A = this chain, B = another copy of it.
Amino acid sequence: VARLAGVHASTVSRFFSHPAVISARTAARIESAVTELGYAPNLVARSLASSKGRLVALLVPDLAYSNFNEAIEEITSGLANADMNVMLCLTGSSPERTEQLIAAAMRWRVDAVIAWTPIPPGGAKLLRASGTSVLQISDVSSDPVDLGIGFNEFEAGRALARFVGERGYVRPYLVATMGPYSARRREGFVKEWRRLNGSKATEQRIDPPANFQQGRRIFADIRRLKRRPDVVVCASDYLAQAIIVEAGASGLRVPDDLAVIGFGNTPMAGDMRPTITTVDLHTKRIPAEVLSVLDARGRGETLPRQHIDLGFDIIARESA
């Protein structure tokens, strides 16, 4: 490889890693040799030798009905553009599996892990021991292993309660998924609702994922209630979509007979009939933040352990 260019292997290595150092003449010679041989450095060896693998682990609970696939896509594409590869780790919301996957990521010596799912204590320990950059997309109230980014679930819950009240609804039905983050949102909603109205919000807890399928069951539950709620506050846009569909099938008008609020502001929400009132989580900002953090760390800057608040917005549309 280096022989063809008539230089030492270390010079070829520099050609790739520190091109600025190389003289124009040798660079040209190496260049032509490289193209002639179709050579591309072995990244496994590079990673081992330099401990900079440009590999990032992405931990997500699932792909199938995620509110966040678009953000995941953008993160992945952004990383690819920055010449980094991503290891896909599907946790299925299982702490054991999450820990296993973190262990595997550590063994691959990933440069960073991006987690859109809770990190169990065992996983946090592994992460801390390794000193890897960790970016957790999570509630601001959570205590991040390293860097956190996300919105304030509790405040989102409160804001939803206020919104529901301002719109004149009096019997909200709250659908929350189990899990640490949405638990805070639920809490915010319930507390604020009580504070404002002195009454309890009806609620239902479901297991993730908050997908279309679950909506049908939830609607059936709602129908069975002696007193129908006037608004359903959902844990995802897919749930909201399904409830709207079910409502339509049973002759209820949305929002007149039953209002519906989603969560996540997926593009579908704006195209549904009626369009879905929902909460935008500013996830579009995540990829850029992730990349800037990784970049800063890559340059050796020391970022403090902190949480970046992305904020959120309630998007009022037709469904509520």
Give the interface of A toward B (CB within 8 A). 38, 40-45, 47-48, 53, 58, 62-64, 69-70, 72-73, 76-77, 80, 85-90, 92, 97, 100-101, 103-104, 106-109, 129, 211-213, 215-216, 242, 245-246, 248-249, 267-268, 271-274
Contacts and interface: CB of A to CB of B under 8 A. Distances in A.
A47 to B, nearest CB: 5
Given A40-B107, A43-B108, A246-B273, A212 B64 contact: no
A100 B82 CA distance: 13
A268 B100 CA distance: 31
Grouping DSSP codes into helix (H, G, I), strand (E, B) and loop, the A interface class, with mixed when no group exceeds half, is helix
A87 B85 contact: yes
26 contacts: A40-B103, A41-B107, A42-B107, A43-B104, A43-B109, A44-B53, A44-B109, A45-B48, A58-B88, A63-B63, A63-B73, A64-B73, A69-B69, A73-B90, A76-B90, A80-B90, A80-B97, A85-B87, A85-B104, A87-B87, A212-B271, A213-B268, A242-B271, A245-B245, A245-B273, A248-B248
Nearest to A46: B107
Nearest to A108: B43
Contact of A271 (B44, B85, B100, B213): B213
B80 A70 contact: no
Contacts of A48: 42, 44-45, 48
B42 A109 contact: yes
B53 A62 contact: no
A250 to B, nearest CB: 9
Contact of A108 (B44, B72, B107, B129): B44
Contacts of A89: 80, 85
Contact of A92 (B63, B77, B104, B271): B77
A215 B72 CA distance: 23
A186 B242 CA distance: 30
Nearest to A270: B213
Contacts of A73: 62-64, 90
A100 B261 CA distance: 41
A72 B106 CA distance: 23
A100 B83 CA distance: 10
Given A44-B108, A106-B40, A77 B53 contact: no
